[in-house]
Chain A
Amino acid sequence: MSRAALLLCQVLVAVVVLALWQVFTTVPLFGRILLPPFFFSNPIDVFSQIINWFASGVIWKHLAITLWESILAFVIGSALGILVGFWFARQPRVAAVFDPYVKMTNALPRVVLAPIFALWFGLGIWSKVALGVTLVFFIVFFNVYQGVKEVSTTVLDNGRMLGMSERQLMRHVYWPSALSWMFSSLHTSVGFAVVGAVVGEYLGAAAGLGYLIQQAEGVFDVAGVFAGMFVLSAFVILIDMAVTVVERRLLVWRPAAAREA
């Protein structure tokens, strides 16, 4: 299928779904409306709500808050993940001691931590950042740990034979290897930073996209809920595109096949 044909089909799917949605919620079929507008709203209302948000400018504040929370969660979670990942990989004894606790914490659905974080850090951005950090941390941690562990022994021996000290091995071998693993999971970790922010907002906040959705839901404003979902999707797609650009820059040295895998 050519690019144009593919794009056409993709647009067609959206058009058909939106058209069906509009028809089922507004036009009576067989004497009744199949999807009650109270529960399903309709595309026109949803999009007018979105346009309204952007026209009045109220949405920007919420977007900025969510973006800021996501960035903070990503940066702090990654920094901690890299630090602990390196530490555990280089100190197998420490890793062995903490292993069951790491597994336990990772197995815990992070949503249940949200109330605790709200208590500890208040309803401002930091409780959301904390939730995002717990999600991002583990992804980065596992990848960095793996990256340090899986350095090819030949490459390592080569570094040693070229005269590298432990510190130089760290800088020229372990560090780039660990980073490459971390970068290969960039999409997942950035995605989780956003999830942490939005879920945190949903569970208790004064601003952000999650707050917006939760508020609309609270007053049975289904159009508002859908509008929030669409804005959130667009937001995530834009972030993901930015990550792809960054990834291309950082992983030039990798063969294309491995990068796509």
Chain B
Amino acid sequence: MNQAMDKAKPTAVALEDATVAFRLADARVYTAVERARLAVAHGEFVAIVGPTGCGKSTLLNVAAGLLKPAAGAVTIFDQPLAGLNRDAGYLFQADALFPWKTAIDNVAIGLEIKGTPRQKALEQAQAWLTSVGLGAFANRYPHMLSGGQRKRVGLAQVLIRDPKILLMDEPFGPLDAQTRQVMGNLLLELWTADRKAVLFVTHDLEEAIALADRVVIMSAGPSSRIIGDWRVELPRPRDIFEVRLDKQFHELHREIWGVLKEEVMKGYAQSTQAGGTN
């Protein structure tokens, strides 16, 4: 790919001084995120890391169009975002599958609502289930699947629509450490196939460095800001198990952790304080 084309490559998601505020029950205004500036290029994998309650998910919801910023602008492929972000697929932290649909129906639904004939949608859904390693579980209901399997179905459900942007809100948060790594590798494998723009929220710095092209750090809330932006130059394709042993990985981790640690302690102090006054 030559330089000119690279320049022409559009920005998939751009937040320009986006501020998000909520009105609390007692009419005070709580500013969750303040003047966030962030651009994700087409095909770029960006991870957002920050202490608990710093508004990472809020930022993601803004990019998804589920939340409207109080000030600032959101543009998707250089178009201002109005309403829901139709170019984005969203993988939620909590269980978001339809419990009354089988795994295959959960995956097929994304195509069916676009008007794809059911038979064709089911065929494609089966193919996607196979590629996330659940080909044999098509007729299981979500409650019959493990947490990791449900996440795989969720991934297939989002990817079958072939969104240009992938938004992920601590998608592997509820899983155990080994399953998370397996899921991370699966995600990288699927992502490498067609390089969507990814905005990946996590509280796990190691996960962020292992997966992403860029790691963005947010300060402790309220009024969190983006306080750091690191490029991860580790070569691809990566293996999450291997990459953690890399010297470059350790240097980057130490560098970012130096900044993040302070925010984590601040966030922790605030949460205990809040607990004391409540």
A29-B32 Cα distance, complex, nearest whole Å: 83
Residues of A close to B182: CB separation below 8 A: none
The SS class assigned to the A binding surface is: helix
B interface residues, how many (CB within 8 angstroms): 28
Q: Does A31 count as interface, using CB distance less than 8 angstroms?
A: no
Q: Which residues of A147-164 are within 8 A (CB) of B?
A: 152, 154-155, 157-164
Choice from B90, B141, B142 contacting A161 with Cβ under 8 Å: B90
Contact call B92/A157, Cβ cutoff below 8 A: yes
Among the stretches B22-30, B44-52, B107-115, the one at the interface with A is B107-115
Question: Which residues of B lie under 8 Å from residue A155 when comparing CB positions?
Answer: 95-99
Mask: chain A, 158-179; 1 = CB below 8 Å from B; 0 = not: 1111111100100011001100
Q: Which of B89, B90, B97, B99 contacts A254 (CB 8 A)?
A: B99
| Interface status of A26 (Cβ within 8 A of chain B) | no
Do B92 and A172 touch across chains, with their CB atoms under 8 A apart? no
A172 & B96 in contact (Cβ 8 Å cutoff): no
B198 to chain A, nearest CB (A): 15
Is B195 among interface residues, defined by CB-CB distance under 8 A?
A: no
Residues on the B chain within 8 Å of A164, using CB = 113
Q: Mark B100-122, 1 if CB is under 8 A from A, else 0.
A: 11100000011001100000000
Which residues of A sit under 8 angstroms from B158, Cβ to Cβ?
A: 162
B86 contacts partner chain A, Cβ-Cβ < 8 Å: yes
User: Which of these, B86, B88, B95, B109, contacts A154 with CB under 8 Å?
Assistant: B95
Instruction: Return chain B residues, CB-CB under 8 Å to A154.
Output: 92, 94-96
Bound: A162/B85 CA distance, A:
10
Chain B's closest residue to A252 (CB) is: B141
Over the window 77-99 of chain A, the binary record of Cβ atoms lying under 8 Å from chain B Cβ atoms (1 yes, 0 no) is 00000000000000000000000
**Residues in B lying within 8 Å of A, measured CB to CB:** 64, 66, 84-86, 88-90, 92, 94-102, 109-110, 113-114, 141-143, 157-158, 161
Task: Kindly list the 3 A-B residue pairs having the minimum CB-CB distance in the complex, ordered from nearest.
Answer: A158-B96, A161-B90, A255-B143
Give the B-binding residues of A (Cβ under 8 A): 152, 154-155, 157-165, 168, 172-173, 176-177, 180, 252-255
